[in-house]
């Protein structure tokens, strides 16, 4: 059976300093899969910069619009230059999608970053987002938009620009038979098929769903050899999954995300929220 592969990796960027982190992860995967990295920078619309509910004289509105456009032009130039630097540093060719080699391109989008993810993310095989920052209260809306509006797998990148070239060589899959876990496997299949080693991490299953053994057989039918690693469900399962990844030596985790609502898990420290906050390896999440 022919293997699937990654074709397009989308990463939204803004002037928050996390672009190099995202590009390092996207570039490493692009090299492994000869994929295309689509870097999309967004700037707000002029009307979004206007004070809400305040009547503004026409001359002042025009001045604000001109200032907003000037700022947008500066940011676009700055972010494009950073993109070119990152592409050169990681050895990625800056050109449209080409078969048989890793490429990257830069695009500009007028609007909010959550809109960028929805617009371009739905035509990507993987969306790279930065690990949200609790201290800066930054990145949560982008992650939420990627998970809940794109319908695509989302790679949450740890906070490092040093990414090993064998990223995803040992994939761990969190399996409990849930709908989210099943979707994660289906959407992340290129990464699973491209791995040298696959480990199924399981603490049990939801009633009347596929067992870990049946899941391993399913993978075997696709030509994928995998091992099952079982753990006891106690305490925070998300933290246990991360500990197991370290134990087995996995360098990427694939899992279903936010079985409960995003707000509930984030507020109460659910499994998905814990993994987003504490993961030191790339995590592919699918809702």
Range of weakest confidence among 60-69, 77-86, 260-269:
260-269
The pTM (predicted TM-score) of the whole model is 0.89
CATH code for position 178 = 3.40.50.620
Residues 108, 212 within the same domain: no
- Give the per-residue pLDDT at 266: 52
More confident residue, 257 or 225: 225
Final residue of a domain: which of 157, 191, 207?
A: 157
- Give the per-residue pLDDT at 207: 82
Angstrom distance (rounded) from CA 254 to CA 171: 7
Residues 135, 21 within the same domain: yes
Final residue of a domain: which of 94, 124, 157?
A: 157
Q: Is residue 1 part of a domain?
A: no
- Give the per-residue pLDDT at 67: 75
- Give the per-residue pLDDT at 133: 85
Whether 268 has a pLDDT exceeding 50, the answer reads: no
Decide if 134 contacts 277 (C-beta within 8 A).
yes
Q: Is residue 164 part of a domain?
A: no
The boundaries of the domain holding residue 86 are 8-157
More confident residue, 215 or 273: 215
What is the pLDDT averaged over residues 240-258? 96
The pLDDT-based confidence of 52 (bands split at 50, 70, 90) is: low
Residues 263, 196 within the same domain: yes
Q: Is residue 162 part of a domain?
A: no
* 19-33, 46-60, 111-125, 269-283 — most confident range: 19-33
Q: What's the number of domains the chain is made of?
A: 2
Residues 12, 153 within the same domain: yes
- Give the per-residue pLDDT at 43: 81
pLDDT per residue as tens digits for the range 3-41: 678 999 999 998 888 999 999 999 999 999 999 999 999
Q: Is residue 278 part of a domain?
A: yes
């Amino acid at each position: 059976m022919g293997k699937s592969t990654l074709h397009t990796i989308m990463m939204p960027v803004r002037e928050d300093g996390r672009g190099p982190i995202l590009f390092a992860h996207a570039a490493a995967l692009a090299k492994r899969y000869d994929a295309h990295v689509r870097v999309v920078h967004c700037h707000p619309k002029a009307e979004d910069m206007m004070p809400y509910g305040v009547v503004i004289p026409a001359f002042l509105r025009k001045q604000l619009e001109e200032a907003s456009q000037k700022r947008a032009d500066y940011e676009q130039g700055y972010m494009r230059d950073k993109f070119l630097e990152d592409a050169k540093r990681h050895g990625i060719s800056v050109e449209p999608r080409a078969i048989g080699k890793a490429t990257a391109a830069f695009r500009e989008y007028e609007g909010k970053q959550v809109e960028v993810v929805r617009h371009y993310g739905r035509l990507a095989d993987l969306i790279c987002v930065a690990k949200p920052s609790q201290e800066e209260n930054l990145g949560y809306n982008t992650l939420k938009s990627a998970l809940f509006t794109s319908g695509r797998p989302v790679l949450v990148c740890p906070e490092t620009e040093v990414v090993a070239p064998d990223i995803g060589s040992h994939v761990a899959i969190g399996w409990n038979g849930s709908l989210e876990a099943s979707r994660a496997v289906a959407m992340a299949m290129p990464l699973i098929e491209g791995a040298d080693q696959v480990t199924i991490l399981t603490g049990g299953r939801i009633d009347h769903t596929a067992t870990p053994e049946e899941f391993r057989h399913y993978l075997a039918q696709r030509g994928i050899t995998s091992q099952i690693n079982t753990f006891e469900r106690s305490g925070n399962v998300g933290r246990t999954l991360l500990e197991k990844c370290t134990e087995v030596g996995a360098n990427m985790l694939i899992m279903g995300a936010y079985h409960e609502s995003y707000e509930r898990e984030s507020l109460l420290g659910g499994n998905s929220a814990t993994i987003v906050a504490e993961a030191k390896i790339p995590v592919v999440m699918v809702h």
